[in-house]
């Protein structure tokens, strides 16, 4: 019987990569083969077919192979267990036995760590941080003592909630921790790590526990014009903050991290096309005159080459990995929001300005101007962003372009 990792080239993912699978071959006359997903993928360029492993040039080779090697060891351990019990050993029986719940073998924090490593490897730095923060909050509650999935019941969750509230946590923040823990349970059940009977969230209802409705924070069109008219030194950080804010408003409420990721190759004539970093949706919008002026201002500064970033947030020579970009965006976002609050004071606007306010203002101005709710779906003032992106993508560009004329 042969157990080894292979690149499953018969399936190509949307990003051009192929899944890395563990292939189990019977080794007998039938030579039956079964596959187990590792959760990872890569391109042919980074796969050494002869050695059945990632090439040394792969940036995450060490981390990925650590997880894959552990999966192979676990399968081989199952093989030895079956042989010791004098049970039939085949690709089928080995797959089935390896998928049996391992509730007593995998702890909550061990599984947290595994999921975080997967997210980092798959370049989902934002989600990795969400899981890391939830893990730290839980570790703080248990005083670093690891716990089993079966120990997390309704009573445990009530105590965890009380602990987070005692630390000054608000409903929105606590809700994120609990939704992340719930997602961890769902993944564990889906991957047969635990039994479905361990699931505590059918009784502990997150939606009924926390008020996560967001206070509306939007400017009037008149207030937006006041900020737009502010005379700010072009060599100051205030000027850049103002540019990002105005561009977000006129750019269909584009998120700050998506602004940071914009490259000149994303600009095609009078349209900007980009992939929404949070949802993975492909979006585009027409450049209105104010947005076009901002684009033109930055062209001689950042070079205008297709692979250059439009704005001075990322440096393509320094911010290469997803985690580097995530950390850089967070750092700059903090500084930008601080500058925006100063701009708000200069404009004598009571609403504390943040990049989020620009997104919300975009949606609110359109709504007040009579744009159909279906087109903007309350835009950025919705409960789930995925619904908004689905609505916006579902309409012809001409309809959205016509609606955006109300921004001016």
Segment 366-371 long-range contacts (CB within 8 Å, at least 24 positions apart)? 366/403, 366/404, 366/406, 366/407, 369/406, 370/406, 371/403, 371/406
pLDDT digits (tens, 9 = 90+) for 1-25: 788 999 999 888 888 899 999 998 8
Bridging pattern class, strands 18-25 and 271-275: unpaired
Looking at residues 367-388, what average pLDDT do you find?
A: 56
- Candidates 135, 218, 215, 121; CA nearest to 177 is 135
Over 80: is that where the pLDDT of 30 sits? no
- Candidates 47, 175, 60; CA nearest to 118 is 60
Composition of the chain by helix, strand, coil, percent to 5: 55, 10, 35
Looking at residues 133-156, what average pLDDT do you find?
A: 92
Residue-averaged pLDDT of the chain = 83
CA 172 to chain centre: 18
Over 70: is that where the pLDDT of 178 sits? yes
**pTM as predicted:** 0.56
Task: Give the per-residue pLDDT at 398.
Answer: 55
Task: Give the per-residue pLDDT at 83.
Answer: 78
Question: Does an H or E element contain 258, and which?
Answer: helix 256-261
pLDDT digits (tens, 9 = 90+) for 84-109: 767 777 777 777 655 544 444 688 99
Domain 221-407 has CATH 1.10.443.10: yes
pLDDT digits (tens, 9 = 90+) for 275-285: 887 767 788 88
pLDDT digits (tens, 9 = 90+) for 55-93: 999 988 888 898 899 888 888 887 887 777 677 777 777
Task: Give the per-residue pLDDT at 378.
Answer: 41
DSSP bridge pairs for 21: 6, 37
């Amino acid at each position: 019987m042969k157990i080894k990792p292979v690149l499953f080239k018969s399936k190509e993912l949307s990003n051009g990569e192929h899944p890395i699978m563990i292939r189990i071959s019977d080794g007998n006359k039938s030579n039956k083969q079964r596959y187990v997903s590792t959760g990872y993928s890569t391109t042919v360029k980074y796969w050494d077919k002869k050695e059945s492993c990632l090439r040394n040039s792969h940036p995450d080779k060490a981390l990925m192979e650590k997880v894959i090697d552990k999966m192979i060891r676990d399968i081989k351990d199952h093989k030895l267990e079956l042989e010791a019990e004098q049970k039939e050993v085949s690709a089928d029986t080995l797959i089935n036995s390896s998928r049996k719940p391992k509730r007593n073998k995998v702890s909550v924090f061990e599984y947290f760590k595994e999921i975080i490593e997967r997210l980092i490897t798959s370049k989902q730095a934002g989600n990795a941080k969400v899981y890391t923060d939830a893990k730290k909050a839980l570790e703080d509650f248990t005083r670093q003592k690891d716990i089993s999935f079966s120990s997390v019941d309704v009573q445990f969750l009530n105590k965890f909630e009380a602990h987070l509230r005692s630390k000054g946590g608000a409903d929105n923040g606590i809700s994120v921790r609990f939704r992340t823990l719930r997602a961890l349970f769902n993944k564990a059940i889906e991957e047969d790590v635990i039994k479905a009977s361990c699931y505590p969230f059918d009784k502990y209802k997150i939606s009924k526990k926390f008020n996560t409705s967001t206070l509306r924070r939007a400017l009037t069109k008149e207030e937006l014009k006041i900020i737009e008219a502010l005379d700010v030194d072009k060599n100051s950080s205030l000027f850049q903050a103002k540019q990002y804010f105005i561009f977000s408003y006129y750019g269909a409420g584009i998120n700050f991290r998506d602004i940071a990721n914009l490259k000149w190759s994303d600009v095609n004539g009078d349209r900007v096309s980009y992939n929404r970093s949070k949802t993975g949706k492909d979006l585009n919008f027409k450049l209105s005159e104010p947005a076009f002026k901002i684009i033109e201002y930055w062209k001689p500064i950042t070079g205008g080459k297709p692979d250059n970033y439009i704005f001075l947030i990322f440096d393509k020579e320094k911010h290469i990995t997803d985690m580097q970009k995530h950390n850089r965006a967070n750092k700059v976002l903090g500084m930008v929001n601080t500058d925006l609050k100063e701009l708000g004071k200069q404009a004598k606007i009571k609403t504390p300005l943040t990049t989020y306010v620009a997104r919300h203002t975009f949606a609110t101005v359109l709504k007040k101007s009579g744009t159909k709710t279906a087109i903007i779906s309350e835009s950025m003032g919705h409960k789930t962003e995925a619904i908004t992106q689905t609505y916006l993508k579902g309409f012809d560009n001409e309809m959205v372009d016509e609606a955006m004329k109300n921004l001016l």
